[in-house]
Every structure is written in C-alpha cells, then in structure tokens.
Amino acid sequence: MKILHVIQQLSCGGAARAMLSLIKYCSLDSRFKHQILSLLPPNLSGFQNEQLTGLQDKIIEGNETEIKQIIEEADIVQVHFWNSPEMYEFLASSLPPHRLIIWLHIAGNTPPHILPKMLINNSDKVIASSPYTLEIQSLASLKESVKLEKIKSIYSISDFARLENFASQEHQEFVVGYLGTTNPVKIHPNYIQMNGDINIPNIRFLVAGDETGCLQLQKQAEKLNVSDKFEFLGYIKNIKSFLEKIDVFGYPLCPNNYSTVELVLQEVMWVGIPPVIFAYGGAQRTVIHQETGLIVHSEKEYQEAILYLYENPQERKRLGDNAKIYAQKNFAHDLIMGQWKQLYQETIELPKTLHQLSFNSDVGSDIFRQTLDKYADPFCKSLSSDNIQELLESDSIIASSSPVLYNISGGGILHYQRYYSKDAYLSFWGGLVWQKQGQNIRAIAYFKKAIQLGFPHWRIHWYLAKAFEKVKAFDLMKTSLQEVINADPSFGEAKNMLDYYS
C-alpha cells in the first residue's frame, strides 16, 4: 500500500515529528510504503544523524506533472494539516482522483487554525490528533452518519526510542522544565513573570526551544530582575538529557493556542515527570487532573501548583508514576499503529475521487478570509462594508489580533501577506497589526505598499497619519490628514488633528 504524505514543510516541528514517527513504526510492516511531499524545501537541520537514516529516500521532488503522476500512483494521500497558504493552494489545485485523509495537527477551533466545513466535505477521512478536536462545533455538529463514516481521533505519537535508558539525574535545586515553542504563538504571554514570582528558595527554570523565542524570554527575565532563576538553552536535539534534569514540567500555553495531544507532554509523561498545564486547547485532554498531572485555570493556580509539587515530593512521585503508566498504555506504538493500519485499510476500500477545494476567488485576502470560516467576520467587513464606523471597528479588531492570528510563518495574516505579496488588503491588515504593536516604521511600509497595490479606501491615510505622528514625521502626517479630509470632509477627527498641528 503506497501512502503519500503531504506536509507544508518537513522540519523538526511537532507535526513533522508526528508524521515521521508514524512512518517509522508503520514501515515495520512491509505492506506499507511511505513517501513524503514537502511543499516547501525540507529543513533537516534540527534532526540527529540517526533520524535522517532512510528519510531522504522517502522525500520526493518533481515538477507539477511529476507530482500529479505520484499522486495518481499513490493508494492514499495523507495531508498533514494546519492553516498555511501553501497547503490550501495544494488542496485547491487540480489533482488526479485520489483517496484523501486529512490529519489535523491543530485543535481546529482557534483562528487561524480553523477546521472549515469545506475541508471536511472535501475529504474521505478527517483524523483528529486529540479527542479534544471531536468536541469542536464543526465536528460535533455533523450528522452521526458522517461522523461514523469519516471522523476519527488517533493520537499523534512521539518516537519514544529517543528516551531509552532514561535515568533522572540527582540535583540540589528544584528544577521546572519547559521544552517547546518559546514564541508568543504558543507559550503563555506572562511565562517569565508568572514563574519568576514563585517564591521557592532553590528553584530553577530550564527553558529549551527556538532560539529567537529564548532570546526574547531572556530579555524579559533580565528586565524583571529574575534572570538568575532561568537558564535558556535554545534549541536542543537530545531531549532525554534535558528531561533527566527536571522535577516538574511546567507547560503553560497561551489561552488561544492550537495544541492537540502535544508530543512533548507524551514524552514527559512517558518518563514519569508530572506536568502542570493550563486548561487551554487540546493539551488539557492529554493530562488527567490530579491523576497524571495538574491542570490550572489562572496564573495564581499555576504558581500554587508548582509550590504544591515542591512541598509534596510524594505527591509529585505519585503523579509522575501515574503519568508513566497512563502514557505507556495510551500512547504505545503498537496500539496507535493498529489504529492507523485499520484506517488505511478502510480508506483503500473507497474509490478514488476528485478532491479540490473551491474558493470564491484567487485573491489572497479573500482566500485567507474563507479559511477562517465563522471567525472571518471582521475581515469580511474590512473587505466589503460601506459603513465607516463598521470599517473602523473591524480594523480595530484585526489590529488587536493575537500573535497566533497574525503569525508570520504559521498561517497568520503576515504569513499570507508574505505569500500573496501583491494583495493590497493583506498588506493593509499587516500594517494594522504592526501599528498596534507600536512598530510604526513597519506599519508605514505596509500601508504604503497597500496604497501602491491599489487599496481602495481613504481610511488607510488616517492610519498612516497616526503612524507618521508617532515617528514625528509631521509634514507627512499633514499630507495624509489632508487626503482623509479631501476624501471625506465629515470625518472630524482628521480635521481636529490637522488643526492641532497647524
């Protein structure tokens, strides 16, 4: 059975790691042959040498005609899904008939990582990585017959082989570890202050993750005068040696995170380390409160949970032991591989059919809007309303987008703007985001680009004027204000501002 895996980019990220674990253990059964199509050039820099063994032979490349031929020859096409313009372009392209499995690497209910109904309707099977996703409205509202026919939940799995011979190292301090994404799209926005304020004499926080995020967190720690409590390791390849040094896994994610089962939670539980997490996203379905870890609902509860585990080592051991038993029962490779093999067998019995997403247009801003499904309202109004108050309110909502929603590489506004670089509205929305962040020079550049691309509404000059004011470019500010007044003399705020500076 030939299975073609399609992923936005093969890298050392969580989705790719889950895919590679699936391929590794499924390939032990000679009936299954796997290939990987990376829509962007693979980034293999984060892998250890042993992980690359045999991997490059599975990666396919080719032109459009060759890729279509490979799809035609595949028994099953398995798309590893999260919102990205590259993946949506692939799903909207004209492809040969195929059997399509969508494997969700996102919870599916926080923008931009939404599971839209058009994606469900356009697939043969939709597989959630966590039972949490089965509860979201777009799946829970489906007819029972549709759920039974095409919706399943199968845990993502880590490659636990890299944890073999795990042995905790003795240490004098109480060590709380964090391993994962360290930028604001995932980690709790108050991670440093929340942990830095915990009053334990010999506490130390080990933080490992992407280099840029670690540097930002280090600056926050220095600013808050708590840097002596933290050690920032950057990206690490050997997670076993990291986990051997910690007592508790403090994993507070941001409220609107897109987490599913979280491979790193599986890994810490597998070796018997108790996690402390917030009740946000799919991660909350991986941990059982007071049985395999602690689930909290506020920063105060998080701090109390860490203190409680410090003061109660026997409880820490009980939770860790339970977590290990639970993980090795529920995340075992044999169990999950059996579920995948059964799914593949069910899928191959279906006929190959045409699968092609249909968007209302090929304009980037309109495609982005449609991927957000029911969360698209402010973007719809920003695109089409003729009521100035409604436009300004919608723009304000867009400007206040979460780091996840405006993410520059994870399916957010800035990612789509970079991909559809000639789209005026995406440049405009990017300008709104940067302006809200206080990045006025960047905002000005984005607004100017939007104007050059033909942005049709005068309000962009109002935003430009306020950005010029912040950088003290008063002549340019006055020019922008005059543009607003010429376009709509009734817009009193522009006239008042111009009078103030005249």
**pLDDT tens, residue by residue, 349-385:** 999 999 999 998 899 999 999 999 999 999 999 999 9
Q: Using the predicted structure, report yes or no on whether residue 312 has a pLDDT greater than 90.
A: yes
From the centroid of its chain, how far is CA 55? Answer: 24
For the purposes of burial, counting CB atoms within 10 Å of the CB of 12, is it exposed (0-12), middle (13-18) or buried (19 or more)?
middle
CATH entry, 364-501, from 3.30.750.24, 3.40.50.300, 3.40.50.1820, 1.25.40.10 = 1.25.40.10
Pairwise CA distance, residues 149 & 121, whole Å: 12
Closest CA to 359 of 138, 141, 119: 119
What was the pLDDT predicted at 43? 87
Residue 22 structure tokens: 């699936």
Domain ranges of the chain: 2-157+333-348, 160-330, 364-501
58-67, 389-398, 485-494: the lowest-pLDDT one:
58-67
- Please state, in angstroms and rounded to a whole number, the distance separating the CA atoms of residues 140 and 126: 13
**With bands split at pLDDT 50, 70 and 90, how would you rate the model's confidence at 20?**
very high
52-61, 154-163, 465-474: segment of lowest average pLDDT: 52-61
Determine the pLDDT at residue 48.
66
Residue 52: pLDDT band with limits 50, 70, 90? low
| Amino acid, res. 382 | S
CA angle 459, 461, 464 (to 5 degrees): 120
Q: How far is CA 260 from CA 24, 157, 201, 286, in A?
A: 21, 11, 34, 8
pLDDT of res. 369: 97
Mean pLDDT of 466-493: 97
CA distance 357 to 335: 33
State the Cα–Cα distance between residues 34 and 58, nearest whole angstrom: 7
Q: Which residues contact 145 (CB under 8 A, 6 or more apart)?
A: none
- Percent of the chain exceeding pLDDT 70 equals 99
How high is the pLDDT of residue 376?
Answer: 96
Q: In whole angstroms, what separates CA 48 from the centre of its chain?
A: 24
Q: How many CA atoms lie less than 13 Å away from 318 in the CB half-sphere?
A: 10
pTM: 0.94
Which residues, including other chains, have CB under 8 Å from residue 347's CB and lie 6 or more apart? 76, 99, 101, 124, 125
Instruction: Give the per-residue SS3 of 327-339.
Output: HHHHCCHHHHHHH
The torsion of the CA quartet 339, 341, 342, 348, rounded to 10 degrees, works out to 140
Coil, helix or strand at residue 326: helix
CA angle 479, 480, 482 (to 5 degrees): 65
Average pLDDT over residues 188-216: 96
Residue 459 has pLDDT above 90, yes or no: yes
Asked if pLDDT for residue 466 goes beyond 70, the answer is yes
What value does the mean pLDDT take over residues 138-144? 93
- What does the pLDDT read at residue 56? 74
For the residues 389-399, what does the mean pLDDT come to? 98
Q: How far apart are CA 299 and CA 501, in angstroms?
A: 44
pLDDT digits (tens, 9 = 90+) for 260-278: 999 999 999 999 999 999 9
Higher pLDDT, 13 or 32: 32
Position 188, amino acid: H
The burial class, CB within 10 Å (0-12 / 13-18 / 19+), for 490 is: exposed
Q: Could you give the CA distance from residue 2 to residue 331 in angstroms, rounded to a whole number?
A: 25
Structure confidence at residue 49 (pLDDT): 62
Residues 190 and 223: their CA atoms lie apart, in Å, by: 13
Q: Are 312 and 363 in contact (CB under 8 A)?
A: no
The architecture (CATH level 2) of 2-157+333-348 comes to 3-Layer(aba) Sandwich (3.40)
Q: Are 474 and 467 in contact (CB under 8 A)?
A: no
**Cis ω on the peptide bond leading into residue 489 (within 30° of 0)?**
no
**Thinking of the domain 160-330, which architecture would CATH place it in?**
3-Layer(aba) Sandwich (3.40)
pLDDT mean over 47-53 = 65
**One fold for both 2-157+333-348 and 160-330?**
yes
**Is it the case that residue 46 has pLDDT exceeding 80?**
no
Q: Comparing C-alpha atoms, which of 47, 55, 52 is closest to residue 12?
A: 47
Q: Which two tokens stand for residue 433?
A: 């985001």
> Mean per-residue pLDDT for 236-255?
96
Distance CA 125, CA 347 (A): 8
Arithmetic mean of pLDDT, 411-437:
98
Cα gap 395→400, rounded to integer Å: 9
Rounded to the nearest integer, the mean pLDDT of the chain is 95
Range of weakest confidence among 134-138, 176-180, 320-324, 443-447: 134-138
Residue 220 has pLDDT above 70, yes or no: yes
Tally of CA atoms within 13 A in the half-sphere of 171 that contains its CB: 16
Q: Which pLDDT score, from 0 to 100, does residue 263 have?
A: 96
At position 71, the amino acid (one-letter code) is I
Between CA 37 and CA 4 the distance in angstroms is 7
277 φψ region: left (φ > 0), alpha (ψ -120 to 50), beta (else): beta
Structure tokens at 209: 């993750």
Amino acid at site 352: K
The proportion of the chain whose per-residue pLDDT surpasses 90, expressed as a percent, equals 93
The set of residues, in sequence order, having a beta carbon less than 8 Å from that of 203 and lying 6+ positions away, is 173, 174, 175, 176, 229, 306, 310
Confidence of residue 488 (pLDDT cuts 50, 70, 90): very high
